[in-house]
Structure 1
Amino acid sequence: MSAALELQGLRALVTGGTKGVGKAVVAHLCEAGANVLATARSRSDDLAEERFIGADITTAEGCKTIVDAVLDRLGGVDIVVHVAGGSSAPAGGFRVLDDDEWNKALSLNLFPAVRIDRALLPSMVEQRSGVIIHVTSIQRQLPLPEATIAYAAAKAALSNYSKALSREVSPKGVRVVRVSPGWVETDAAASLVAEIARQNGIDMEGARKIIMDSLGGIPLGRPCSPHEVAELIGFLVSARASAITGTEYVIDGGTVPTA
């Protein structure tokens, strides 16, 4: 089967689909023939309006808006890719992470997947087909304590939830798979590299090395690109991966020292 046509006619939802990895996933799925809707708070200029669902995914109301739009505009769904996530917590370790910061981490990195899956899975089970991808993070097993304890814990919870869900719905025809990226050089990450370079009076490669060293090193010698993560997800939602469910694929250039 041609990779350019292998998702022809399938209906897909990508959360966080206007930037970084999510944007790359939307582009890849569209190129493979899928009918894709992307969610975010605001639409990027290069995303067609008919492909966009504007909503705050951190709220129950926002998730309902997304689900209603998917059912109204697509009539159901065959592929759900949960990319939305991240952390804006301040540095300073556990002492500065109050209840509000913990709630923010869970509301962005765990609850949207739970809410959207709960609403869309029944139709996938009824048609006895579909794929759900949960984008986790290597921080679920390699947390960085300075600022992302809550984020790492939320991603660990997402991974555990995903595994449990796969055991429930895989016998009913729906595959559930996790993708665990390491450092991905998105536009936001590139801006961070530039800022580190400016603050330290070094070049971009030196700034990248500072970040890689903070992760314990990346044996590959570079971060992943959004395109590379999207390629992996594109394979996992395709018929070529029809026997894959309930597992996690790490894409981190070898950062995590053990499997």
Structure 2
Amino acid sequence: MKSKPTIDAVLAGKIALVTGGTKGIGKAVVKRLELAGATVIVTARNQPEEPDATYTFIAADLSRAEEVSKVANIIHKQFGRIDIIINNMGANVYPGGGFSTLTDEHWDQALQVNLLSSVRLDRALLPAMLAQKSGVIIHISSTSSQFPIWESTMAYSVAKSALNTYSKALATEVAGKGIRVVTVSPGLNKTEAMTYFLEDYAKQSNISVEEMTQNLFERVGGVPMGRMAEPEETAELIYFLVSPAASYITGANLVIDGGNFPVVK
């Protein structure tokens, strides 16, 4: 395993788990936590692209309960503790077109991937945090959870909305026991998944990706900053939230969307 450079030691000695950490926002979070000195564990269904990754990788499909148990057992045996959990796993790969296109199987898949994977992982790893009376859990949600687009994100939005409620309830339960739980809701991020989403819907609509991107901006009410976020920008917020600088933040749902969200919360 290649040694990792650090720019500070804020998270030195901390063990962090990042789910869905080989691409997009998750990949950027992994790099940021390593730069802060953390020892990072990554889970994903796909093998990491970097041949010289400095983190510990566990291949797993966390939408399956038995795979969650496998990951938890490896962490307990190999590391003996966990300080940070970034529940970044999520996907919007369900048919567009509204309620009539979504089967029971689609709804079940959306809930397994975007909600229950986090619920099960927390349940498996929280006891260790409670025993040490410290820890931070971040749930990566989406602005879609509060601003659903019926024609393309219905099942995904519903599952992420449920994740928001679960996260708030969990934060309240464990706040007095040394554990912080925070939700982060990114807006549009320039990730591989977003690129695939735009290309797929552009093809279906018989328009260019550039036109589809503009349509998406208009559909969500516009982005005042005029661009999508870079994953590294979202990762910087997540890093702050797991650092000691955010020690009084729990139970919150922080939106990072370039000013897009159209209402005052």
For normalisation by structure 2, the TM-score amounts to 0.91
CA contact (8 A) 1:212 1:218 kept: yes
The amino acid across from 1:35 in the alignment is T
Per-residue Cα deviation, 1:164-210 (whole angstroms, up to 9, x for no partner): 000010100000000001111102323454664995357x4x54322
* Distance in 1, Cα, partners of 2:173 & 2:147: 27
What are the within-5 Å matches in structure 2 for residues 179-198 of structure 1?
179-193=184-198, 196=202
Q: State how many pairs are aligned.
A: 256
* Distance in 1, Cα, partners of 2:49 & 2:220: 34
Q: Hey, what does 1:42 align to over in structure 2?
A: 46
> Is residue 54 from structure 1 mapped to residue 59 from structure 2 by the alignment?
yes
Q: In structure 2, do the counterparts of structure 1 residues 232 and 50 end up closer, same or farther at CA, with 3 Å as the change threshold? A: closer
* Distance in 2, Cα, partners of 1:80 & 1:171: 18
* Distance in 1, Cα, partners of 2:226 & 2:55: 39
For normalisation by structure 1, the TM-score amounts to 0.93
In structure 2, stretches of 5+ residues that fail to align are: 1-5
> Is residue 155 from structure 1 mapped to residue 154 from structure 2 by the alignment?
no
> Is residue 27 from structure 1 mapped to residue 31 from structure 2 by the alignment?
yes
Secondary structure, in 3 states, of the residue corresponding to 1:200?
Answer: coil
Q: Hey, what does 1:9 align to over in structure 2?
A: 13
> Is residue 222 from structure 1 mapped to residue 221 from structure 2 by the alignment?
no
In structure 1, stretches of 5+ residues that fail to align are: none
Q: Tell me how far 1:214 sits from its aligned partner.
A: 1.9
Report the RMSD for the aligned CA atoms in angstroms.
1.9
Secondary structure, in 3 states, of the residue corresponding to 2:248?
Answer: coil
Q: Hey, what does 1:99 align to over in structure 2?
A: 104
* Distance in 2, Cα, partners of 1:11 & 1:75: 9
CA contact (8 A) 2:21 2:29 kept: yes
* Distance in 2, Cα, partners of 1:150 & 1:187: 20
CA contact (8 A) 1:43 1:49 kept: no
Q: Which runs of 4+ in 1 moved over 6 A?
A: none
CA contact (8 A) 2:40 2:55 kept: no
Q: Hey, what does 2:3 align to over in structure 1?
A: none
Q: In structure 2, do the counterparts of structure 1 residues 194 and 105 end up closer, same or farther at CA, with 3 Å as the change threshold? A: closer
CA contact (8 A) 1:109 1:154 kept: yes
Q: In structure 2, do the counterparts of structure 1 residues 251 and 38 end up closer, same or farther at CA, with 3 Å as the change threshold? A: same
Q: Hey, what does 2:207 align to over in structure 1?
A: 200
What are the within-5 Å matches in structure 2 for residues 114-125 of structure 1?
114-125=119-130
Identity %: 46
The amino acid across from 2:91 in the alignment is G
